[in-house]
Structure 1
C-alpha cells in the first residue's frame, strides 16, 4: 500500500524471523486526496463503522497497527473525525468485537442512545461493542504552530469471546468514560502505551503472550468496575496480578524498602501467594527476587552507559539502584553482563563517542 511508512512482517516467514506483523501509516507519500481513505481502510479492518471527516481532503494522520495474537493494537493521531455504527450495520454484520480506547489528547462525544451523550477527555478509557450502535465525534486537542488540532490515543480490538465475562454484564459500562489515573485502569492504560511504543520490536511468540495479558488486564479492570472479581477465572486474576506487580516494582525500584512483603501488602495478598503467582506466571519461572535484581542491574547498566552521568561514581549508581555494597554489585554485574561495571562504562562511553553521541 503506497503511503504506508513501514510495514513489519508482511510475509509469514519474515514475521517469524523478525518481528510481529504490523503496519505504520503516516501518509506523507500519498496524494492529499487519498490519505483519508487509506487511513480509514486500515482502521476498518477491525472497526466496522462509517468514518467521515471535514479534513478528508488533506488528512494528516498517523496509525500504528500491530497484531498481538487475536488482539489488535492501534495507536493513532488524527484530526476531527466522526465514527458511526448504525443499527443497520449491526444487523447486517456483527463481528463480535470489543473496542477499548485510551484517550491521550483531544476530546470525544459519544452518543449512547436515549438522548444521552458521554464526554471523554484526556486520560479516560472507554469500551464499545460491535454488537451495539454508536455515534462518536472526536475533536483534536491543542497544538503548537497553528496546525490542525489532532486527537491521539491508543486502543485494542479483540473478540468479545476472549473476555471471561458475559456480554450482558458489561451493558452498563459500554460507552462510559472512566478515569485511567489510578488502580487497574491506570495499569491497563500504561500497559497499552508501553506496548504501542515497543510493538514493532516484538517477536510473534511474545506478542501473542502480551495480547493475552492485555485481555487479562481488561478483564481485571471491568470486573473491578462491576464488583465482580469472583466471576473472573483464577488464571486471569493471576496474570493480571503478576503484571500489576511488575508495574509496581518498576515504579519503586529505587525504594530501599522494596521487598516481597511490601509488594504483597500493596496488592492485598500474602507473601506466599505473591511468590507462587509471580513464579508461575513468569515466562521462565523466574522468582520475584531474581526479577527485581535483574531490573535493578539493568537500570544501573543504562546509567553507567549514559554520557550525562559519566562523572557519577560507579558506587553511587549502584547504591541508587539498591546495591549498597560495592563488592556485591560488582559480582552481580559481572555475572549478568560478563564484565565489571567500570569496564562496561568505559566501553559504552567510547562507543558513544565514536558514533558522535
Structure 2
C-alpha cells in the first residue's frame, strides 16, 4: 500500500474541521480555511508522498481557501499546486484571473501569489472531489514568466495531454492498495514528466522538454491508445506505430524501457486478459458466453483465449468464472468505501 489515509469520521465532531485545516496547511502553502459545514465537517484524503511530489486524492465538504499577500510574505514554500476537479464546482481568483471550474477541469496556482479558491455554491450539499498535486517550482523545465500564463486558467483534463495527466492521477488512487512504497520515486518522476508535457503543450513550448520526458510522455500516450483499442483484434505494433507517426523499431525500442520491461505484445495481452478476468467475475455477465467475453477484449479465437488465460491465472476461463461467482454468492460483493458526506450519521451537539 502507498500513502496514508485521513477520514474525518474517525475523529470527534468538534475536532474534524480543525484537524483538516491543520493538515491542509502542512501539505500546501498556508492559507485561511473556512467552511459553512465546519460544525459537521466531512472529508477524506489519501496523502501520497512520491519523492519531491505530493499527490492527494480527496473529497471534502464545500470549503474556502484564501492565501493573502500577508501569508505569502510570511511563508513561501515555492510550490506549484495543481488541482484536478472530479465533482462539484470551484471558483478561483488568482494571478489577475477569475474562473469557474467543473468536473475534469485542471487549474494551477503558485504559492508565491495570493489566491482565493472557494466553492461555486458554498451551501451546496454535495462534496467536492478531486486530486491535488504539490511540487517544487524548480522541477519544471519551463521558466517562471512562461508558467505565469497558466496560473488561474481553467484547462481541460478531458482530452490530449490533460487527459493523460488526469487519468494517471485518478489511477494512482485506484491502485494505491497494490502499489508499494518502493514505487514512490518512480511514480513521482512520471507525474513530473506528465506535468511538464502538459504545461509545455499548453504553452507551445515542447522544445524545452528533455528527451527522457518526451519518451515517457510518448509511452503514456501509446498506452492510453492501446487501452482505448483493446477490443480491436488488429491492434498490433504496426498499427500502433502508424497512429503515433513513429517506426515499429522505435516503438519496440522505447516501450520496454518505460513499461517495466514488458514488450508491446505482452503489455497488450496482459491488459486484455485482465479485462476478460473482470468480466468473467461479474455476475451481471454470467450468461454472456465465454467466447463473447474473449471477443469483446480483442481475442477472436477461443482456443487462444483459453490457453493464454490458463497460463496467466492457472485456471481455464470456465473454471475461473465458476469459482469467482461461487465465492461472490457465499461472501457477497466487496464493500466499497462510502464517499465523504455519506454513511455516518451527522454530528450531534453535546448537551
TM-score scaled by structure 1?
0.85
Aligned with 1:94: secondary structure?
Answer: coil
Counterpart of 2:212? 235
Alignment of structure 1 residues 73-222 onto 2, 5 Å: 73-114=55-96, 116-140=97-121, 148-222=125-199
What is the CA–CA distance in structure 1 between the aligned matches of 2:48 and 2:256, rounded to whole Å? Answer: 28
Give the superposition deviation at 1:207: 3.1
Match of 1:5 in 2: none
Checking the alignment, whether the CA contact within 8 Å between 2:62 and 2:122 is kept in structure 1 is no
Report what 1:37 is aligned to: 18
Change (3 A) 1:300 1:200: closer
Cα offset, 1:140, TM superposition: 4.8
Deviates more, 1:50-59 or 1:118-127: 50-59
Return 307-316 or 121-130, whichever deviates more.
307-316
Which residue in 2 is equivalent to 1:323? 299
Match for residue 68 of structure 1? Answer: 50
How far residue 270 of structure 1 moved from its aligned partner, in angstroms, is 2.9
Count of aligned pairs between the two proteins: 332
**Contact residue 47 and residue 56 of structure 2 kept, 8 A:** yes
Higher RCO (CA-CA < 8 Å; seq separation 6+): 2
User: Per the alignment, do residues 61 and 334 of structure 1 end up closer, same or farther by CA in structure 2, a change over 3 Å counting?
Assistant: closer
Distance 1:155 1:289 in 2: 34
CA–CA separation in structure 2 for the residues paired with 1:343 and 1:92: 64
Show CA shifts across 1:9-68 (max 9, x none). xxxxxxxxxx2231222x224333321111112212221222122332332222232222
Q: Distance in 2 between matches of 1:106 and 1:191?
A: 20
Q: Is 1:353–2:334 an aligned residue pair?
A: no
Distance of 1:51 and 1:40 partners within structure 2 = 6
Query: How far did 1:226 drift?
Result: 0.9
Provide the secondary structure at the position in 2 that maps to 1:173. coil
1:141 deviation in Å?
Answer: 8.6
CA-to-aligned-CA distance 1:166-225 (integer Å, 9 cap, x gap) = 323211111111122211111111221222233244211223322221111111110101
Deviation at 1:126, TM superposition (A): 0.4
Point out where structure 1 has 5 or more consecutive residues left out of the alignment.
1-18
What 5-or-longer segments of structure 2 have no aligned partner?
Answer: 334-351
The alpha-carbon distance between structure 1 residues 150 and 304, as it changes in their structure 2 partners (threshold 3 A), is closer
Supply the RMSD in Å over aligned alpha carbons.
2.2
Alpha carbons of structure 1 residues 339 and 123: separation in structure 2 relative to 1, 3 Å: closer
Task: Tell me the secondary structure at the aligned position of residue 215 of structure 2.
Answer: helix
Question: 2:38 matched to which residue of 1?
Answer: 56
Q: What do the CA deviations read for 1:277-322 (whole angstroms, capped 9, x no partner)?
A: 2121121x11111110111112122222323322222222222222
